[in-house]
Amino acid sequence: MIKAVRHYTIWGALLIALAIALQSAFSCFQIANSNQLITQLNQGKDIRPEQLKNSTPALQLARATYLKKKHRYKEAQAGLSKIINQGSQKIQSITRYNLGNTYLSEAIELAEAMQINEATALAALAKQAYRQALALDSRYWDAKYNLEVAMRLLPEMDRITMEKDDPIPEKKAKLWATVPGFPRGLP
């Protein structure tokens, strides 16, 4: 009886070890595949959308970055919106930061094309995304910097809109965000 219990225990332990080994091998295969696809995206080659199914947030972030570089902002924003609440808190913060970057890049392009109303809305969305990233990680320096850029861009666009709409300019007090350089004092 003791021999039978020992026999089944050994076989059970072997089966559990085999299952763990197979699961680990499958995880390693998925990681290697994701890394290969990320490398492909970094080299400027797109991947098929079906390769993104059941993929990691890191791969989807890489594809969104690729799409942003190609000025395909709407697709990048859609991809980032799908994964905005996935992954660790750090990945969620990075996702929001990248979403803010796509909004800000598109806003700058629209502002240069004198489409001020659309650019203003996108700059406001960029600021919101950067604030959300900072709420998740208050030490995220890049998000702080880009929030400052977006805050400086928005008053400039408001001034351009006022100049176009109002032929008689009125003297208006400048906001602190229009002062060149960074504000001194508390962070």
Domain ranges across the chain:
1-45, 46-164
Instruction: Give CATH superfamily name and number for 46-164.
Output: Tetratricopeptide repeat domain (1.25.40.10)
pLDDT of residue 154: 67
Q: What angle do CA 130, 108, 39 make, to 5 degrees?
A: 70
pLDDT of residue 155: 62
Residues of the chain with pLDDT under 70: 154-187
Please say whether the beta carbons of 96 and 135 come within 8 A.
Answer: no
* Whole-angstrom distance, CA of residue 92 vs CA of residue 78: 15
pLDDT of residue 43: 77
pLDDT of residue 19: 92
pLDDT of residue 68: 87
pLDDT of residue 31: 77
pLDDT of residue 17: 92
pLDDT of residue 117: 82
Tell me the pTM: 0.66
pLDDT of residue 18: 92
pLDDT of residue 102: 92
Q: By C-alpha distance, which of 48, 49, 57, 51 is closest to 33?
A: 51
